[in-house]
Structure 1
Amino acid sequence: MKRLGLIVVLGLAMAGCARTPGPEAPPAAPFATQISYSTGPCFGACPVYAFTVQANGDGSFEGKRFTQTGGTKRFKLSRADYDAFAAALAPYRPAPGTSRRYSQGEKGCERAATDLPSAEVTWVGPDGKSQLYYYFGCDMEANRAMADAIGNAPDLIPALAPLIGERP
């Protein structure tokens, strides 16, 4: 009888640990096997460069203007660095097969400061390609989180710092 009581008590205790279904989680962002990132010039000495990183750890950098390293250089990155970079940009990735522009006069950029740089990001994965163009002068307060995420994303790849050099 004691055993039966113990079994019932343990069963009830385990039932209390059962997970109740909650709201459905949002779908995961599409996985990109390759991400390309390039910057545009500003009025001043903003670094202008492009790089491509792949989930397998391969990277390629091209310094164009005002970078520590000019020309094309190959580099390696860890999977953790790739995943952090991809995760920082994921909230702003357009649906596969589409593109989104934040440029002067376009939706999301009705008010814009002039002479600032831009960034273009291209994701390529098994679900297709998507592109984002972002001008850093677009509605600066309204788009602060996006500007910070896009502008700071290269910092998540340590191998880029000595190639890009100082950024204003």
Structure 2
Amino acid sequence: MRAFLIPLSLFALAACATTGNSSDRIEISEGPCFGACPIYELVVTPDDHYELDGQRFTRINGFSEGDLPRGSFVQMRDLLDRADFFRLPENYTFSNPDVCPGPELSDMPSITITYTTRRGSHTVTWYQGCRAPNMRDLRDGLRDAFGYEDIVRPG
């Protein structure tokens, strides 16, 4: 019996040492705007796999999936962690003047980011007409990490 339990215990420990929990995920959706802004929903998982629903003005309209370069999820996770994402207000829109003081630009797209880990989930929506340099930097960093120019933006 002991010979069976030791390898089983080692296997269980190895399973706990993975880089991400199977429930971890980053979800990003953008759009619409007054114009031809990409409208899409993206899910990225710790194994650097993505699922993309390109709804309008995207490279591929409809569902697509694939693998991002190795370490893309970790890069995105690190950006969210550095931004202290779980402490950000959920609402960067006109209805929250504390983080979206006027005057705002109109007809801009919005972005919604949901970060799910074993400790919970948090969603932040930013209307991109609100001046929020921290959100602009986060959006740009996330886009770079998942390859926005390659998988979302029309060619």
Q: TM range, normalised to the smaller chain?
A: 0.7 to 0.9
Q: 1:150 aligns with which of 135, 139, 142?
A: 139
Q: Are the counterparts in 2 of residues 55 and 79 from structure 1 also a CA contact under 8 Å?
A: no
Q: What is the aligned partner in structure 2 of residue 10 from structure 1? A: none
Q: TM-score, normalised by structure 1?
A: 0.69
How many equivalent residue pairs?
Answer: 131
Q: What is the aligned partner in structure 2 of residue 22 from structure 1? A: none
Q: Offset at 1:92?
A: 5.0
Q: 2:93 aligns with which of 90, 103, 119?
A: 103
Q: What is the aligned partner in structure 1 of residue 45 from structure 2? A: 54
Q: 1:72 aligns with which of 28, 53, 63?
A: 63
Q: Report the AA paired with residue 95 of structure 2.
A: G
CA–CA distance in 2 between the matches of 1:69 and 1:89? 27
Gap regions ≥5 residues in structure 2: 1-20
Q: Which runs of 4+ in 1 moved over 3 A?
A: none
Gap regions ≥5 residues in structure 1: 1-30
Is 1:132 the counterpart of 2:124 in the alignment?
yes
- Alpha-carbon RMSD: 2.3
Pair member with larger Rg: 1
1:102-160 deviation per Cα after TM superposition (whole angstroms, max 9, x unaligned): 0113120121211111100011111011111111111x2xx2232132144122123x4
Q: TM-score, normalised by structure 2?
A: 0.74
Identity %: 25
